């Protein structure tokens, strides 16, 4: 398969105003997508409507208008959702039987970045073949269909209410959060108007932070990438737990009543434990190359199979399908509850953890205690361009030396990020000081090699 020029592991992303994330390119992208979707629906009676949602960053309005114009010029009808979490757009694309859903978001990145990602009619990521067809169309001169064939635009006014009801429906019959005090950090992002509502309607006393977006404060000192304020607030308010979402709502981390962070691996472990408690066994869990070794060992003790996919939610979902398993995710908090939805959903995953808290009658700190995490250190080394790590003798030699020092109960992983211009250097092992030392040394070798 040919290499993709624009699409990464999670759509197209970059700094606003660069060669790609600018109004001119996004207009052309909307048109190219529209042309490909028009070909897909040829001969079918479906109207081929496309939904567009966005997070709260200020550039979203600009790119929403550009995408809308491009799609309409290609003859595609558009429905606007306004600010909505990424998983909500996946859900609404399915329930409206739309041809596709488009999300304008750079997820956990700062406000000055933005991106475009797509969902198929089934609420899943677009296949590589379709993304390549879109890229091919981008090389063609833009044209406009005849005026009587132009797409029409409407706004879906009850999108938030529909998604709130969906989230609540993923909990067991009669489930409630009565008596619980929960702090929820919405990262000043797309969940600001839905996450607090879901928890309140289920009966919790809710303290919302990071729920006052102004276009530029998304992910700024709040959310799953900066959980310190949440940790502090949980302790100060004597809350039962805290929930940290990211800017577009597809990731979640949690905080126990003592203020300690509970990451994605631990949340997956809690969910899996509850499934075993309910059913006596569980089919299996998909993690990634970055998943903690302690997570894998804890699942082994439960008798739950575990498999590692490449980093990226699309690869996790692919492996879940291959194994026919219903749970997977990443330590970053991107958790896919496949028996409830088709993509990573921070609110739905949090509700699965809260279900475990309620049904076990144990607090989050107790539930996560069965998993002992191995010390893990990750350092991001900035890149100025692409790098082939397998073609760097100094890096390969340093990795080999580090692996020899760690022995059988340790791991080294170097990988270029699919969403940021960095190489992620990860070292994991039983000896925390050694792990930190090796990570620093490896990061230094990588930094000198890419300079």
Q: How far apart are the first and last CA of the chain?
A: 31
Active-site residue, selected from the candidate residues 59, 107, 291, 331: 107
Are residues 160 and 186 in contact, defined by beta-carbon separation less than 8 angstroms? no
Compute the distance between CA of residue 316 and CA of residue 171 in angstroms, rounded to an integer: 23
Would you say 426 and 308 are in contact if contact means Cβ atoms under 8 Å apart? no
Is residue 143 flagged as an active site residue? no
**Exposed (0-12), middle (13-18) or buried (19+): which is 129, by Cβ within 10 Å?**
exposed
| Sign of the dihedral defined by the CA atoms of residues 86, 89, 91, 93, in that order | negative
Phi, psi (rounded to 5 degrees) for 438: -65, -35
| Secondary structure of residue 109 in the 3-state scheme | coil
Q: Are strands 285-288 and 327-329 parallel, antiparallel or unpaired?
A: parallel
Burial class (CB in 10 A: 0-12, 13-18, 19+), 24: exposed
Contact between 255 and 231 under an 8 Å Cβ cutoff? The reply is yes
Helix 86-95 to helix 159-169 angle (10° resolution) is 90
CA 294 to chain centre: 22
Residue 121: exposure state from Cβ atoms within 10 A (0-12, 13-18, ≥19): middle
| Residue 139, C-beta contacts closer than 8 angstroms, at least 6 positions apart | none
- How many other CB atoms are there within 10 angstroms of residue 201's CB atom? 15
| Rounded Cα distance, 48 and 22, in Å | 26
**CA neighbor of 82 nearest in space, from 22, 159, 10, 148:** 159
In 205-315, DSSP assigns E strands to 205-209, 241-245, 252-255, 261-262, 285-288, 306-309
Alpha-carbon gap, residue 117 to 95, rounded angstroms = 19
Q: Which two tokens stand for residue 324?
A: 């026919």
Helix ranges (DSSP H) in 41-122: 60-73, 86-95
Q: Enumerate the active-site residues.
A: 107
């Amino acid at each position: 398969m040919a290499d993709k020029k624009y699409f990464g592991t999670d759509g197209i992303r970059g700094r606003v105003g660069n060669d790609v994330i600018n109004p001119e390119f996004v207009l052309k992208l909307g048109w190219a997508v529209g042309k490909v979707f028009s070909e897909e629906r040829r001969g079918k009676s479906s109207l081929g409507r496309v939904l567009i949602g966005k997070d709260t960053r200020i550039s979203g309005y600009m790119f929403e208008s550009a995408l809308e114009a491009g799609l309409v010029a290609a003859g595609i009808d558009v429905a606007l959702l306004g600010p909505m979490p990424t998983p909500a757009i996946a859900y609404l694309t399915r329930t409206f039987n739309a041809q596709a859903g488009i999300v304008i978001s750079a997820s956990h990145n700062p406000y000055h970045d933005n991106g475009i990602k797509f969902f198929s009619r089934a609420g899943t990521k677009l296949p590589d073949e379709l993304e390549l067809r879109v890229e091919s169309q981008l090389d063609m001169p833009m044209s406009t269909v005849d005026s009587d064939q132009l797409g029409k635009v409407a706004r879906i006014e009850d999108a938030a209410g529909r998604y709130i009801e969906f989230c609540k429906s993923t909990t067991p019959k009669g489930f409630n959060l009565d008596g619980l005090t929960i702090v929820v950090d919405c990262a000043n992002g797309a969940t600001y108007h839905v996450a607090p509502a879901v928890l309140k309607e289920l009966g919790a006393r809710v303290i919302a932070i990071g729920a006052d977006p102004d276009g530029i404060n998304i992910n700024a000192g709040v959310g799953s990438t900066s959980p310190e304020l949440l940790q502090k607030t949980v302790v100060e308010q004597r809350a039962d737990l805290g929930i940290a979402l990211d800017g577009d709502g597809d990731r979640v981390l949690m905080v126990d009543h003592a203020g300690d962070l509970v990451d994605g691996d631990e949340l997956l472990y809690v969910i899996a434990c509850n499934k075993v408690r309910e059913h006596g066994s569980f089919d299996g869990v998909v993690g990634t190359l970055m998943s903690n070794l302690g997570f894998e060992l804890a699942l082994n003790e439960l008798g739950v199979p575990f498999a590692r996919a490449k980093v990226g939610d699309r690869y996790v979902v692919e492996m879940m399908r291959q194994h026919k398993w219903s749970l997977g995710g990443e330590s970053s908090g991107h958790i896919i509850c496949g028996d409830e939805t088709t993509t990573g959903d921070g609110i739905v995953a949090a509700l699965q953890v809260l279900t475990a808290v309620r049904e076990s009658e144990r607090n989050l700190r107790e539930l996560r205690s069965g998993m002992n995490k191995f010390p893990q250190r990750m350092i991001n080394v900035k890149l100025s361009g692409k790098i082939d790590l397998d073609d760097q003798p100094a890096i390969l030699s340093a990795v080999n030396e580090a692996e020899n020092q760690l022995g059988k109960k340790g791991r080294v992983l170097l990988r270029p990020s699919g969403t940021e211009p960095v190489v992620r250097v990860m070292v994991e092992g039983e000896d925390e000081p050694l792990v930190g030392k090796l990570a620093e040394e490896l990061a230094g070798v990588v930094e000198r090699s890419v300079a």
